[in-house]
Chains A and B, each alone.
Chain A
Amino acid sequence: MVDVYLVGVGGQGIITASKIVGDAATLAGKKVLLSETHGMAQRGGSVVCTARIGDVRSPLIPDHGADVVLSFELLETLRALCKASKNTVVISSTERIVPLSVSTQKLRYPTMEDVEGKVMRTAKAFMQIDAPRVAADSGVPMSSNVVMVGALAGTGITGLDRAHFESAMKMNIRRDLAENIIAFSEGYRLASPQP
């Protein structure tokens, strides 16, 4: 049983990322359940998707139950920590999308030290990926989500093969597939355990 908790901001391509994980698991012959956020929250709000690989019926991940938190945005990483425990690997993009509440209600956007401190106290490991930069370097600035999926694949925690992820990308990426594969590979490389 592997539970992946995907979080970020509406518009970051999180549903597509979760579909790639789901299709990769299916191609690997494993049972998988995904749950998604649709509708109003997609308009720039906090978005949550879950991918549960294994024999389970409930699509939602219990508190402290995630094996991986895959976060596309730093503030959302903190919001996801309820699903983390000392068994959880947190992979976070360093991208910041400042919410309206910071501009208008004068709430403070957390610093990198805040995020690092809180994640390290809660989780087993914290991996930071500059996904927007990696995506831009690959030639498709919109491919941050694929970079993050690459990082998830690179950790090996899902138990799924790279080839399954790449086949799943072909099923879900409609434009610039070659560039997206490059973005995926770079995410994969950054998260792979050093040889």
Chain B
Amino acid sequence: MLLMGNEAIVRGALEARLSVATTYPGTPASEIGDTFAKVAEQAGIYFEYSTNEKVATEVAIGAAASGLRAMVSMKHVGVNVASDPLMTFAYTGTRGGFVLVTADDPSCHSSQNEQDNRFYALFGGFPLFEPASPQECYDMVKKAFEVSEELGQPVILRTTTRVAHVRGPVTVGEISVGPKKKEFVKEPARFVTVPAVARARHLVLLEQLSKAEQMADESEFNTVIRIGDGGRQGIVTSSAAANYTIDAAKGMGLHVDVLKLGFSNPVPSKKLLDFLRTHDIVVIVEELEPVLEMQVRSLAQREGLGTKVFGKMDGYMPRAYEFDQAIVTRGLARAFSSDQKETTRCELPQDLPTRPPVLCAGCPHSATYYAVNKATNKKALFASDIGCYTLGVAPPYSTADLLVCMGSSVGTAGGLAKVNDLPVIAFIGDSTFFHSGIPGLVNAVHQGHRFLVMILDNRTTAMTGHQPHPGSARDPCNPGAISVSIEGVVKGCGVKWLKVVDPYDTSATTEAVKEALTQDSVSVIIARRECALIAKRDEKGAIVKKHYIDQEACKKCRTCVTKFQCPAISSIDKLQTIDEALCAGCGVCAQVCPYKAIKEAP
């Protein structure tokens, strides 16, 4: 069957006696959780969308330490959040198979950085699998659970966007999930990492890693693929880069051996040394950081080998962005001094209008940003956060001045407010607030920071595909889920000034922002209105009717496109129009127009 890499991961896990799966959604990993959400009940496993990646990891650790197989999935930056429990879980080890899936995003298609999470495998001491195709996602997940249980160590499976979001043929087997219950057998000398235990367990980890290296050396996922007649030239590669490498080598007509690593940490030293000894030139082809290259060079130096090694440390391959066949072809041609017709990159004409992503028609964030700009006259500093609302960075709103990671808006706003005189506003979504905004708010209350937090509550985790969060009224995976009140949390944190507004009412929102900014402590506004896409899907969205622009009343002031942004409104050659098919009927534009030229459609 044709499966997306993320779906193949789920399928493999369901055939590998999985009992518990957890996640916090994030592109390009989201479909792992979304697929579990669809099938968990029928398959008979437990699945949850956890509050954040750290909690998701900890829930999975609880199950795996009890002896059941557990999987936790997240995007690459999610592992930063989860890294605290992970680093020490490598010391305790696990009883049931434990697989962490990290989906990396070379080229930052949908991310704030392109960090290479293979370093976490080296950093924490995790056996690492790197599938290159949906079939390998399926195969390696099954193997990863076996390896994890055999070693008693947590294992990482790392994909990238071009593995996670590729669909390809996958041959599957029979579903076979694990039991629902297993009694935790107490063993504090292993699982309670007081210093004495931690010191002892570190040695166990190192011992298990050397066993893992033997397994990597014998792994069927670390194999030599001969291109042409092979010969004295070689390539070491892994993950998506292996695909580009093999296609490029074939396309170039090279005679070369490709050592493709699927079980890549610990590196299979014996296999690598054999490969280095039997080849005169070895090129390392890997996306992002020189993780394999550093280790290959170190092995060659240790053994005093004269093999020439090329990679990105000497500039043959780029260190930033994802690869493609052309990039790899260029690097290989230089390293192997092979005569290749230089392929030039096709450049797009400069005059093509760009089409970056935008806030949707009827998006409540759009209305909120309009009101904030009106209230502050843009004389404010905006700490933004991760979600659809980050798109407010673009004109006409320009409501994002500082953004580093999930939940950072509230913390950074505190620092901004301490050293600036301009008013400071933090924007954070409902899901992100639960994820990691709360500690920042507690800190702001306790330290007496003075700024406004606007919780943009659209009742869902919109950007990643409308997953539930702790404030959601309904959770498809958990019918009895309790909705945690954002107001309750905010008040519980000790916030003295709190208001809830409907962003579709722009004057009330504007007034609330003005009032909030006069407070002498941290203030909170919850701007609550359901995501327009969900409202549309459930056909209960429009609070008012579709709108049109009365061209006779229109004074061509263009306020509807210079102060407000809606995909349904276009302005070409001074003619402003509303596309009725796109209009969500929110009526915000009618409040924006100073001449009352935007009217309800008859």
Contact of B396 among A23, A104, A107 (CB under 8 A): A104
Contact of A41 among B109, B246, B326, B395 (CB under 8 A): B109
Contact between A82 and B167, CB atoms less than 8 A apart = no
- Complex: A40 Cα to B348 Cα, angstroms: 22
Contact of A33 among B1, B166, B358 (CB under 8 A): B166
Given contacts A41-B110, A43-B388, A44-B567, contact A58 B244 (CB under 8 A): yes
Q: Which of B123-131, B308-316, B349-357, B442-450 contacts A (4 or more CB under 8 A)?
A: B349-357
Contact between A99 and B354, CB atoms less than 8 A apart = yes
Contact of A78 among B349, B360, B464, B561 (CB under 8 A): B349
Given contacts A44-B360, A104-B561, contact A98 B324 (CB under 8 A): no
Q: Which of A59-67, A153-161, A183-191 contacts B (4 or more CB under 8 A)?
A: A59-67
- Complex: A173 Cα to B330 Cα, angstroms: 42
- Complex: A9 Cα to B582 Cα, angstroms: 13
Write out the residue numbers on chain B whose beta carbons fall within 8 Å of the beta carbon of A58. Answer: 243-244, 247, 324-325
Contact between B243 and A100, CB atoms less than 8 A apart = no
Within 8 A of A (CB), among B330-370: 343, 345-349, 351-360
Contact between A108 and B391, CB atoms less than 8 A apart = no
Given contacts A35-B162, A62-B326, contact A42 B357 (CB under 8 A): yes
Contact between A103 and B360, CB atoms less than 8 A apart = no
Chain B interfacial residues counted at CB < 8 A: 57
Contact between A98 and B570, CB atoms less than 8 A apart = yes
Contact of A109 among B1, B353, B565 (CB under 8 A): B353
- Complex: A32 Cα to B31 Cα, angstroms: 20
Report, as a range, how many residues of chain A touch the other chain: 35 or more
Contact between A23 and B349, CB atoms less than 8 A apart = no
Contact of A59 among B1, B166, B353, B358 (CB under 8 A): B166
Q: How far is the CB of A58 from chain B (nearest CB, A)?
A: 5
- Complex: A10 Cα to B110 Cα, angstroms: 14
Given contacts A22-B167, A57-B247, A60-B325, contact A101 B353 (CB under 8 A): yes
Q: Mark A74-96, 1 if CB is under 8 A from B, else 0.
A: 01101100110000000000000
B437 within 8 A of A: no
Write out the residue numbers on chain A whose beta carbons fall within 8 Å of the beta carbon of B165. Answer: 35-38
Residue of A nearest to B565 (CB): A100
Within 8 A of B (CB), among A2-37: 9-10, 19, 22-23, 26, 31-37
Contact between A43 and B353, CB atoms less than 8 A apart = no
Contact between A103 and B561, CB atoms less than 8 A apart = yes
Give B residues with C-beta under 8 Å from A: 1-2, 4, 27-28, 30-31, 109-110, 132-133, 162, 165-169, 242-244, 246-247, 324-326, 343, 345-349, 351-360, 388, 391, 394-396, 463-464, 561-562, 565, 567, 569-572, 581
